[in-house]
Amino acid sequence: MKGKLFFILVLLLSGKLTAQAFSDTLQISKDYKTIVIFPENISESSIGNDFGFIVDLPKSEEGKYSGRISKLYYDELATEKENTTNYLVITDSGNVYDFLVKLVDVPTKTTWYINPKMSVANIEGASGREAKKYKQKTHSSEKLQEQNEEGLVKTVISEKTSKDNSIDRATKELYESDPLEYYRLRCYYMQFDKAKISRYFSRLDNVFLWLKGVYFNEDELYFQYRIENKEGLDLDINFVKHQIATNYKNSSSNQKLGIEPVFVYKQPKTVAGKSENHFVLVFKKFALDEKKEVVVELDEESGNRNLSLKIGHEIINNPIHF
């Protein structure tokens, strides 16, 4: 009898551990975004391997639920067929969540709802009465989440596509009456899009300036960038400057002509250590001949981590239409 009870207990524990292992492995792909929704705002987030694996950092100011949502996907231009890394998240209460992230062709699940029971520890050491207090605080929202996951998805999407930021507002009429608002809406919805240009970047030590894509809409070109600071020291930006120049050295006419954006969206003043920023610059449409290129210069304030990125005419003259 005891042997039979022990056998049943082993089976139950085995099933529980298997389920836990599965639930802690997030599947991501190049063609889908995996959405991870936490019960509270994300305070810290770290991906083990950030070459190929991409995490859209939450922006709490963009919506009621945005600070709780993490979006993961894989660089569509990367060549790897198999890859795995770890993903660590710390929420505002100090709860620590540790996941495995695995590259697959098609995820079996693209939306994950996380609850405090899935945390592996609390960075503040909360336990006993404190943990119970926090659990009671989140119980009602967890219950609603479990009972009506579909409804929460609709709420999150509804928040993101609220009246003020709805892409449906980006009409021809808005473009003609208020072009700056039109640019803002377009930039808002494209800022975290996956890179459309294969590993196009400038690098100085562990600071990167990535060109993610050049887009064309109406009569403007949209330059989509990502600044990645893998160093521990913050990067304070003095300016980001664009110039048109000849693409060969020792030319008698090798002069640079500055071009100014008509709209700047979320260009950072500071990129904190171990973080990244996405931003978009909008220019009036222009084209280049084969002897010209755009030179992008990023200048660090009170520092020497300056970057220079050259964008060839073949990219400028063949933008992505949207």
Same domain, 65 and 143: yes
- Residue 289: DSSP 8-state: -
Same domain, 132 and 196: no
Could you tell me which of 221, 238, 220, 229 has the C-alpha nearest to residue 301?
Answer: 238
- Residue 194: DSSP 8-state: P
With vertex at residue 316, the alpha carbon angle to CA 247 and CA 30, rounded to the nearest 5 degrees, is 120
Q: Which of 10-19, 101-110, 313-322 is least confident?
A: 10-19
Among 103, 132, 160, the domain boundary falls at 160
Quote the CA–CA distance of 39 and 219 in Å, as a whole number. Answer: 43
Q: Is residue 165 part of a domain?
A: no
Predicted model pTM: 0.55
Total domains in the chain come to 2
Same domain, 37 and 74: yes
Query: What pLDDT sits at residue 250?
Result: 53
- pLDDT (average), residues 100-112: 91
Phi, psi angle pair for 102, to nearest 5°: -125, 135
| Statement: residue 51 has pLDDT above 80 | no
Same domain, 19 and 51: yes
Q: Which of 1-10, 18-27, 268-277 is least confident?
A: 1-10
Q: Please, what is the average pLDDT of the chain?
A: 80
Q: Report which residue type is found at 37.
A: I
| Statement: residue 176 has pLDDT above 90 | yes
Same domain, 66 and 215: no
Query: What pLDDT sits at residue 221?
Result: 98
Sign of CA dihedral 237, 240, 245, 248: positive
CATH of the domain at 236: 2.60.40
Same domain, 147 and 225: no
Q: What does the buried/exposed string (b/e) look like for 136-160 if buried means 16 or more CB atoms within 10 Å of the residue's CB?
A: eebeeeeeebeeeeeebeeebeeeb
> In percent, how much of the chain has pLDDT > 90?
46
Phi, psi angle pair for 269, to nearest 5°: -85, -30
Query: What pLDDT sits at residue 209?
Result: 96
Query: What pLDDT sits at residue 52?
Result: 81
Query: What pLDDT sits at residue 6?
Result: 41
Cβ pair 209, 229 in contact under 8 A: no
Among 118, 136, 160, the domain boundary falls at 160
Quote the CA–CA distance of 98 and 23 in Å, as a whole number. Answer: 11
Q: Is residue 166 part of a domain?
A: no
Q: Is residue 257 part of a domain?
A: yes
Query: What pLDDT sits at residue 259?
Result: 96
Instruction: Give per-residue pLDDT as tens, 108-151.
Output: 988 999 988 888 888 877 543 444 444 444 444 444 444 444 44
Higher pLDDT among residues 249 and 122, named by residue: 122
Same domain, 94 and 214: no
| Statement: residue 215 has pLDDT above 80 | yes
Higher pLDDT among residues 148 and 87, named by residue: 87
Structural domain including 33 reads 2-160
Beta-sheet strands, E only, within the chain: 25-28, 34-37, 42-47, 53-56, 69-74, 84-91, 95-103, 111-113, 121-122, 201-204, 207-217, 220-229, 235-246, 257-259, 263-265, 270-271, 275-284, 292-300, 307-312, 320-321
Could you tell me which of 214, 173, 206, 169 has the C-alpha nearest to residue 188?
Answer: 169
Q: Is residue 138 part of a domain?
A: yes
187 pLDDT band (50/70/90 cuts)?
A: very high
61 pLDDT band (50/70/90 cuts)?
A: low
Q: Report which listed range, 49-63, 88-102, 249-263, is most confident.
A: 88-102
Among 160, 185, 212, the domain boundary falls at 160
Query: What pLDDT sits at residue 58?
Result: 61
| Statement: residue 165 has pLDDT above 70 | no
Q: Is residue 167 part of a domain?
A: no
| Statement: residue 5 has pLDDT above 80 | no
Count Cβ atoms within 10 A of the Cβ of residue 59 and give its class: 0-12 exposed, 13-18 middle, 19 or more buried. Answer: middle
